[in-house]
Structure 1
Amino acid sequence: MENAALLIAIIQNAIDGIITIDERGKIESINPSACLLFGYAPEEAIGKNVSILMPPPDKEQHDEYLSRYQQTGRAHIIGVGREVVGQKKDGTLFPFRLGISEVQYSGRKIYTGFIHDLTREKEAEDKLKEYAAHLEELVTERTKSLNATVEKLQLTKEELSLSLEKEKELGLLKSRFVSIASHEFRTPLTSVQLSASLIEKYAEQFNSPNIVKHVGKIKGAVGNLTSILNDFLSLEKLESGKEEPTYHEFNLVQFAETITEEMQGLAKQNQNIIYQHTGTQSLVSLDHNLLKNCIVNLINNAIKYSGENSFIGFTTEINKQECIITISDNGIGIPEADQKHLFEAFFRAHNTGTIPGTGLGLNIVARYTSLMNEKIDFKSEVNKGTLFIITFQMP
């Protein structure tokens, strides 16, 4: 009796549903879990055919199984772990795993069904399938997008390659044009400069201020055009990578004195370029041509942006550590807002007005000093002047 009570307690408290049926398919017992699953009270299910718990067509097939069993003595409903669909009292269908065992009891056969609800597992499985399908769809979309991006990148690459080829061709054409233009313009400009000088010489006996004035204008215009050509030719060489520094030793003082003499001839009326050297050493190892271009550009700017009757300072200093070159003036100065753009190509300060210039000179100077691994700095104040400092490290 104690064992029977224990067995009943186990069945009543089992998590899974447990149902027993007789050989005719009628329900003999149903535990609380099975009642909860199917929605029947025990008295509503006991004595009824188990087919009430099955949806069509399983209901009809179950009767056929019973009939076949009665004829052959073999039961087709016996199985272990089959997944089937049950029908609740309200008609709702749900999946479950069914295990059936045959039990001999009191000289007759009883079939016990063990029912494990699969609703949550199936929902999780459906969600997983849905997620997998969504993921597959997403991967497909991303793959299409990626393929489209790759095609665009390929097209862009081809367009860029074509563009680079065209740019290269344009660069070569520009280089040729600048080179040809520079040389072709130099010849007539030299002739104009020479002719102007001869006119000035032959006109001295006439002592005509008008002739001197207009000859001066011609020489000034020729000088401006020559300066522009030099700037564009220098820029072209820098951008094409043709300009490389070549170092050799020379006398900096003699070099600076020659430049001072040349630039004094271009100065305005009563403008004086004052050169001074500090230190006992005079030899340096630098690129003679690049350095001359830098100094000429800076002195030329000092001449342009300073008035008549003014002084332009030009100093060189050599010590054990550095070679320092300075060019100073007391001209119009550079507005503070413009100073950060001073070394940009084609940039001109807002206070230059009608003073001619390309805005390339300081850019070229900065790039030349960079090529020689040196630095350029400046100080400036509007209407008080500008000081440029080029510093070279001594070996």
Structure 2
Amino acid sequence: MENARLLHAIIETAIDGIITIDSRGKMESINPAALKLFGYTAEEVMGHNISMLMPEPEQSAHDHYLEHYQQTREKHIIGKGREVKGLRKDGSTFPFRLAVSEVQYQDRKIYTGFIHDLSREKEAEERLRDYAAELENLVEERTKSLKKTVTALREAKEEVSLSLEKEKELNQMKSRFVSMASHEFRTPLSSVQLSASLIEKYAEPYENPQIAKHVHKIKNAVGNLTTILNDFLSLERLEAGRVEPAFHEFDLVKLAEEITEEMQMIAKQDQNIIYQHTGLQSVVMLDQNLLKNCMINLINNAIKYSGENTFIEFNTEINERQCIVTIKDNGIGIPDTDQKHLFQPFFRAHNTGSIPGTGLGLNIVLRYAGLMNGEVQFESKINKGTTFILSFNK
């Protein structure tokens, strides 16, 4: 008796709905949670067929489903079940997860249905989908706006260069424009990136591939825009004379290994960065931040302009006279006619196609290397790859 009272108390206070029916589908018991979900009183449903709680077409098909269940003994295990719709007394419907178990009671069989309301989960999923779509539209608008700004900047540079007599005046105008663009776009881009990360975090329990797809697109778009903005800011600081190298000793091998690990994460499928150091020494006296920027820029180019299933060689060497950094790929290469213009600002080789880029990276590498009294050399053959070499005298 004590066990029976305990079981009754558990059923009566359960959060999920619990309904038992006989072999003909008539309801024999229903707990308060189920009554609240469907909006009925116990007197209104007891003895009636369970199909009254189902919308069409499930209502008409219920007897067939119950007969099939009895014949095949296909059981929906508690905790898995299947997603169905319920019909409330007021005519509205709601989604719930139904788990059914068969119980042998005395000389007959009864069926117990466990009902878990999914209304809040579905509403949350819908809000997340709407929010992801809204963010995607926002990023698309920002992308168009920033592209227009970049295009305007390039057009402004071409027009001003024809009318101004001195390069200094052109740089001053460009500097003011880039500073304004940085202020206007950096904060909203950071907000979009943070919001996308939060959506990704909160959407994990739903395992919805569409949300993950759109969040990935948002992050990629923001990453591309941030790279463009950083290139323009670096150029602006260089031309304004605000970049001063800070020489200090650091472990070149440790820095290179960290960069290799970082860049491997953004490499294409089956694209491997192979790092190797030559020499007994590992400590150099250079500006670590400027050198890191040069390495990342060159490796990023190797990743972009090489295909999948390729190797990127990343080598460092310290000998008695020099510190040498080499990045070699087997990508699309640089046409001979374009090589003499390669380090000019905004210049991009004619075979880059739709591969994203600003045409500023190599100009920045050349100037950063120059600030550290270094040199940049390269060799390239079309469709066979490119090798860049940074060298710094000790």
Shift of 1:182: 2.1
2:330 maps to which residue?
330
Shift of 1:173: 5.0
Alpha-carbon distance between aligned partners in 1 of 2:245 and 2:281, rounded to the nearest angstrom: 23
| Residue 354, structure 1, aligned to residue 361, structure 2 | no
1:306 maps to which residue?
306
Report 1:93-172 matches (<5 A). 168=169, 171-172=171-172
Map Cα deviations across residues 239-276 of structure 1 (whole Å, 9 max, x no partner). Answer: 22222222111111121122222222322233232222
Report 1:223-238 matches (<5 A). 223-238=223-238
Cα pair distance change 1:268/1:186, threshold 3 Å: farther
- Give, as a single letter, the amino acid of the residue that structure 2 aligns with 1:228: I
Shift of 1:200: 3.4
Shift of 1:176: 3.5
Shift of 1:318: 1.0
Alpha-carbon distance between aligned partners in 2 of 1:308 and 1:182, rounded to the nearest angstrom: 34
Query: What SS class does the counterpart of residue 343 from structure 1 fall into?
Result: coil
Cα pair distance change 1:379/1:178, threshold 3 Å: same
Cα pair distance change 1:270/1:214, threshold 3 Å: farther
Query: What SS class does the counterpart of residue 327 from structure 1 fall into?
Result: strand
Query: What SS class does the counterpart of residue 280 from structure 1 fall into?
Result: coil
1:383 maps to which residue?
383
Query: What SS class does the counterpart of residue 325 from structure 1 fall into?
Result: strand
Cα pair distance change 1:330/1:202, threshold 3 Å: farther
Query: What SS class does the counterpart of residue 341 from structure 1 fall into?
Result: coil
1:221 maps to which residue?
221
Shift of 1:319: 1.2
Cα pair distance change 1:261/1:188, threshold 3 Å: farther
Alpha-carbon distance between aligned partners in 2 of 1:325 and 1:261, rounded to the nearest angstrom: 17
1:153 maps to which residue?
none
1:273 maps to which residue?
273
Query: What SS class does the counterpart of residue 245 from structure 1 fall into?
Result: coil
1:189 maps to which residue?
189
2:392 maps to which residue?
392
2:339 maps to which residue?
339
1:64 maps to which residue?
none
- Give, as a single letter, the amino acid of the residue that structure 2 aligns with 1:297: N
1:319 maps to which residue?
319
User: Taking structure 1 as the reference length, what is the TM-score of the superposition?
Assistant: 0.54
1:370 maps to which residue?
370
1:10 maps to which residue?
none
Contact 2:331 2:386 survives alignment (8 Å): yes
1:256 maps to which residue?
256
Alpha-carbon distance between aligned partners in 2 of 1:297 and 1:385, rounded to the nearest angstrom: 16
Map Cα deviations across residues 17-59 of structure 1 (whole Å, 9 max, x no partner). Answer: xxxxxxxxxxxxxxxxxxxxxxxxxxxxxxxxxxxxxxxxxxx
Cα pair distance change 1:167/1:391, threshold 3 Å: closer
Query: What SS class does the counterpart of residue 317 from structure 2 fall into?
Result: strand
Gaps of 5+ in 2: 1-162
Alpha-carbon distance between aligned partners in 2 of 1:372 and 1:180, rounded to the nearest angstrom: 29
1:200 maps to which residue?
200
RMSD (Å) for aligned C-alpha atoms: 2.5
Contact 2:264 2:272 survives alignment (8 Å): yes
Contact 2:171 2:239 survives alignment (8 Å): no
Map Cα deviations across residues 125-147 of structure 1 (whole Å, 9 max, x no partner). Answer: xxxxxxxxxxxxxxxxxxxxxxx
Query: What SS class does the counterpart of residue 258 from structure 1 fall into?
Result: helix
Cα pair distance change 1:165/1:294, threshold 3 Å: closer
Alpha-carbon distance between aligned partners in 2 of 1:367 and 1:247, rounded to the nearest angstrom: 16
Cα pair distance change 1:300/1:379, threshold 3 Å: same
Alpha-carbon distance between aligned partners in 2 of 1:346 and 1:166, rounded to the nearest angstrom: 16
Query: What SS class does the counterpart of residue 386 from structure 2 fall into?
Result: strand
Alpha-carbon distance between aligned partners in 2 of 1:347 and 1:163, rounded to the nearest angstrom: 21
Bigger Cα displacement from structure 2, 258-267 vs 320-329: 258-267
- Give, as a single letter, the amino acid of the residue that structure 2 aligns with 1:178: V
Map Cα deviations across residues 212-265 of structure 1 (whole Å, 9 max, x no partner). Answer: 433332222222111111111111122222222221111111211222222223
Query: What SS class does the counterpart of residue 236 from structure 1 fall into?
Result: helix
Paired residues, number? 232
- Give, as a single letter, the amino acid of the residue that structure 1 aligns with 2:339: Q
Alpha-carbon distance between aligned partners in 1 of 2:341 and 2:235, rounded to the nearest angstrom: 18
Alpha-carbon distance between aligned partners in 2 of 1:351 and 1:218, rounded to the nearest angstrom: 27
Sequence identity percentage = 71
Query: What SS class does the counterpart of residue 333 from structure 2 fall into?
Result: coil
Shift of 1:385: 1.5
